[in-house]
Amino acid sequence: MAKSTSKDAQALIQSLRSAYAATPTNLKIIDLYVVFAIFTALIQVVYMAIVGSFPFNAFLSGVLSCTGTAVLAVCLRIQVNKENKEFKDLPPERAFADFVLCNLVLHLVIMNFLG
Amino acid sequence: MAGSLAGFLVLVLAVSISEAASIFQPISDSHRSAALELFAPTDGSFGSLEETYEALRTFEILGIKEKPDITTGSCQSVSETLGSSSSTTEDLFHALKVNSILKCNVDEEIFQGVASGLKAVVNDASSLLDFYYSIGSLVLIKDQTSKVDALLGDADGIFRSIKALSQSDGRWRYSSNNPESSTYAAGLALEALAGVVSLASSDLDQSLIVTLKNDIVKLFDSIEKYDDGSFYFDEKLVDAREHQGPLSTTSSVVQGLTAFASVTSGSINLPGDKILGLAKFFLGIGIPGNPKDFFNQVNSLAILESNRVSVPLILSLPATVLSLTKKDQLKVKVNTVLGSSAPPLTVKLVRAFISGSKDSSVIKSLKLEFDPENAVHFLDVLPKSVDVGSYQFVFEIVLDDSVDKKVYATGGQTQVPIFVTGVVKIDNAEIAVVDSDLGSVEAQKKLDLAGENSVSLSANHLQKLRLSFQLTTPLGSIFKPHQAFLKLRHETKVEHIFVVGNSGKQFEIILDFLGLVEKFFYLSGRYDIQFTVGDAVMENSFLQDVGRVELDLPEAPEKAPRPPLQPVDPYSRYGPKAEITHIFRAPEKRPPKELSLAFLGLTLLPFIGFLIGLLRIGVNLKNFPTSALPATFAVLFHLGIAAVLLLYVLFWLKLDLFTTLKTLGFLGVFLMFVGHRILSHLASTSSKLKSA
């Protein structure tokens, strides 16, 4: 039972990896970026858990900056993905321009909140 | 203007002080020292010839010997002014006035030239000031040299043309086209007319002089008066261009009047008290603070002293406080305004009465004796009816020689306030503690109020404290002082003041402690006794600590009033305040530095992971445009994003929101432009790729 479970898990991961290998490179870059942002946010949360939330606005800025940019990156990924028929007419350059603009606005707010 | 105003204020002040009854002191040494201070030359000379004359004339009148030596410099400027053809008549007039005192060595020919020039001015003159300066100058030339002919041929005509400027009320206009009349101008006109009379080569029409005398009498109708008996002239016009204060106006009229009186025969019908009033006005000013006022005062007084109308005599007292105990004599001085001695005369004490009760006179008609050595009229012994107190003495000056009566103005009766003081004798002073119910004396102490006292008493609330004494004047009558107070002061500095009343001969106060317990706030303990008797005419007024009384009062009931808080020492208000300590929020606990730095390193780890991931995926820059223009735009786009991020960092570190947004606006426009260019370029290449 235990053996078969580990085998199943291995087979599952194997199939996942093979399926993921088929994704285009630009989408992989975005995924990597999202993972990077999430991990940075996680480290800050751990730090907060260890030493306390003072100064709270700095902590919020840091975490929101990471999650915000991760969300934006996910949005970019949705728009760029060619399999999403919904955004077929939208060129990826336009989506990237939106991503850059939203990031700049987000970080202006973050910097203001950082104090 | 400002000076005369200041003089006027001083005058008003002086008048308000001496309103009740006034004593005017003749010119004295304090004027001499003030003169030397006011007329101090700068760099060996005064500003102008006019100021030089005022200084020299003041020194001459006051008889100041050690005056500053300015003869050489002044004579030089006199010669220059007289010799110069461009000098105005006013300059010539002041130069000649200085010369009249200094007697500089001026050539006869210069005088001759000046005189003929002035005569031409006189004949053509139309304004009063032209007449005044030119005629005044001619008079001065006539006085200074006998060889030059300064006489006027057509004196009648000139007299009439000056007289034509006069007004019906005795005042004068400055010129025929100026409708405003002025009292100051009247003084100038009178002086000019006096000059015409003295310069006339033939006798003038006497009717002109008679009308002018009437004008003077009319002018004196407009004289103004203060309550203290001083008279003065003032300009009615306040907004006139050259407004003169009361001092210079009065001075001008006095100069004109006396100059005219000295050149005409026969008397001018003016009451002596007005002349005396004018003298009092000048003396009442005291010592003016500016040279012009000082000169006007001293010069006018000097003119009054030697005038032909009537010479004022000033009655003054060296001391207005007389001590009965020291047997002070009542002394009265009579002088002229400049302080020189008066003609033989008798001073009469017409009557004297106690201040505030005019009807009851204590002295009637006494003649004062004369001490020729000190030039003092005195009363050897005050009459028995004059006890200590404040009095009003009324004096009258009677001239011995009947001829003098026409020359001098004595001004009738003069009222002077006099204080008669003396040592008051205190008898039978004693302090005692008395039993309330029985009336028997518990303890009794004699007090010697002339010396030290230190009684020590004790009492309870069923007893009384009695203080009694008698006051008698040097003449033996009962004396009632203004103030007689008994003060009890508790250890806690709570004070109680009682007025000591009198019953007939005896002053007595009885403090019934039973009725006073509430007033004393039920405070038992030691009370210091302070005793005060005071009066302005009592030479031995005293405030004395007599001793102390130990009071035993009942316990305070619940609702008894609390003793008032003692007033805080006013000086403590200016002392240092208590230090203010500020309480700050305690800083939050911070984590150790190493931990924070470690997490800073940790946050870099995902980034490194991100970079490694990128390499693993096999990212490349093949899509980067290769042609020049799009490549430039691509580089600029990335630089623009970097610049915006750098701006954010700066915003965090030091910039404020406004500067950031301003800069961000420019950067944003730039970024939009280059971003649009590069992205549209990429889109077009990719679509081309697709279609291909």
Phi and psi at B627, nearest 5°, equal -70, 160
Q: What is the pLDDT of residues B294-321, one digit of tens each?
A: 999 999 999 888 887 788 888 888 888 8
Is B618 at the interface with chain A, CB within 8 A? yes
Band (B11; pLDDT cuts 50, 70, 90): very low
Instruction: Give the span between the Cα atoms of B72 and B287, in whole angstroms.
Output: 30
Residue of B nearest to A26 (CA): B619
The two three-digit tokens of residue B649, written as one number: 């960092």
Which DSSP letter does residue B243 get?
-
The reported pLDDT for the residue numbered B624 is 82
The two three-digit tokens of residue B321, written as one number: 């406080």
Chain B, residues 653-672, CB within 8 A of chain A, namely: 657, 660, 664, 668
- Mean pLDDT, chain B, whole residue set: 84
For the sheet with B311-316, list strands across it.
B369-371, B376-379, B330-336, B311-316, B408-409
Half-sphere exposure for A85 (CA within 13 Å, toward CB): 0
The reported pLDDT for the residue numbered B15 is 38
Find the CB nearest B613 among A32, A44, A111. A32
- Contact between B235 and B222 under an 8 Å Cβ cutoff? The reply is no
Q: What is the pLDDT of residues B121-162, one digit of tens each?
A: 888 888 888 889 999 998 888 888 877 777 877 888 888 888
Residue B415: which H helix or E strand, with range?
Answer: strand B413-421
The reported pLDDT for the residue numbered A39 is 94
Quote the Cα angle for B86-B91-B97, to 5°: 140
CA distances to A55, A63, A64 from A114, in Å: 10, 11, 11
Residues of A in contact with B657 (CB under 8 A): 112
**Best residue in A25, A34, A63, A104 to probe B by mutation, most B CBs within 10 Å?**
A104
Instruction: Give the span between the Cα atoms of B146 and B392, in whole angstroms.
Output: 56
Instruction: Give the span between the Cα atoms of B128 and B150, in whole angstroms.
Output: 20
Instruction: Give the span between the Cα atoms of B482 and B533, in whole angstroms.
Output: 8
Picking from B644, B626, B640, B619, the residue whose alpha carbon sits closest to that of residue B681 is B626
Q: Give the residue-averaged pLDDT of B487-506.
A: 86
For B104: left if phi > 0, alpha if psi spans -120 to 50, otherwise beta; the answer is beta
The reported pLDDT for the residue numbered B564 is 76
The reported pLDDT for the residue numbered B8 is 46
The reported pLDDT for the residue numbered B9 is 43
The reported pLDDT for the residue numbered B5 is 46
Measured over all CA atoms, what is the biggest interatomic distance in chain B, rounded to whole angstroms?
Answer: 150
Distance (Å) from the alpha carbon of B582 to chain A's nearest alpha carbon: 24
The reported pLDDT for the residue numbered B14 is 40
B651:A111 CB<8 A: yes
Return the sign of the alpha-carbon dihedral for residues B328, B333, B339, B341: negative
**Best residue in B614, B622, B677 to probe A by mutation, most A CBs within 10 Å?**
B614
B596:A51 CB<8 A: yes
- Contact between B463 and B434 under an 8 Å Cβ cutoff? The reply is yes
Amino acid residing at B655: L
Residues of B in contact with A54 (CB under 8 A): 588-590
Could you write out the DSSP letters of every residue in B156-167?
A: HHHHHHHHTTB-
Residue B623 vs residue B277, higher pLDDT:
B277
Is B679 at the interface with chain A, CB within 8 A? yes
| Secondary structure class of B5 (helix, strand, coil) | helix
Picking from B524, B512, B519, the residue whose alpha carbon sits closest to that of residue B551 is B524
Chain B, residues 83-142, CB within 8 A of chain A, namely: none
- Contact between B557 and B517 under an 8 Å Cβ cutoff? The reply is no
Residue B513 neighbours by CB distance under 10 Å: 21
Q: Looking at chain B, how many residues does it have?
A: 692
Residue identified by tokens 């009092």 is B280
Band (B237; pLDDT cuts 50, 70, 90): low
Find the CB nearest A91 among B599, B605, B683. B683
A43:B602 CB<8 A: yes
Residue identified by tokens 């508790």 is B490
The reported pLDDT for the residue numbered B327 is 84
